Amino acid sequence: MTVRLTIPNVRCACGVALTPNRGGPPRKWCSERCRKRHLYGGTCQMCGAPTNASVGKGKAPALCYRCAPASPEQREKLSAARRDDGQRAELVRRWNAGESIPQIMAAMGLSKGALSSKLARLRAQGYDLPYRYRTYKGQVLRAVRRERSA
């Protein structure tokens, strides 16, 4: 049975009880990672959580990773990126009207990959966007259908 000795009432800055050091000065930190986090990291101005310490002493960001998107500039960027309801409605309308992929690409200014990605995402969100049939000289070759797993 291994017995782990701890120094009574001596704790690291993170709250971990420190083990005695063998033949050296008493420990100040529980680990090298803890030392770097407390010496080089900052404190979030919004919530008080520790911030990223990997950028060096004095360069720690003012906000933690959870609060960073809450800054006004980043919040505006995120909302603009997520606010594509008009484009989504136009895409659904054009697709259900029977426009071809090249026509939709030209009208909306999207690449084929971006259009395919948006269609797949909308289908995953539950929008009714039926798969199209592939044709060759007017003949239906095969239905392109994928059943969603429930």
For the chain, 150 residues long, the average pLDDT of each consecutive 10-residue run is: 60 78 79 81 81 77 76 68 72 90 89 89 86 65 52
Greatest C-alpha distance within the chain: 87
Neighbours of 51 (CB within 10 A): 20
Is residue 62 a contact partner of residue 74, using CB atoms and an 8 Å limit?
no
Q: Which residue has the tokens 């971006």?
A: 114
pLDDT at 84: 66
CA 136 – CA 108 distance, rounded (Å): 26
Alpha helices in the chain (DSSP H): 32-40, 72-82, 85-97, 101-108, 112-124
Provide the β-strand partners of residue 43. Answer: 50
Angle between helices 85-97 and 101-108 (to 10 degrees): 150
Q: Whole-model pTM above 0.85? A: no
pLDDT at 47: 79
pLDDT at 34: 84
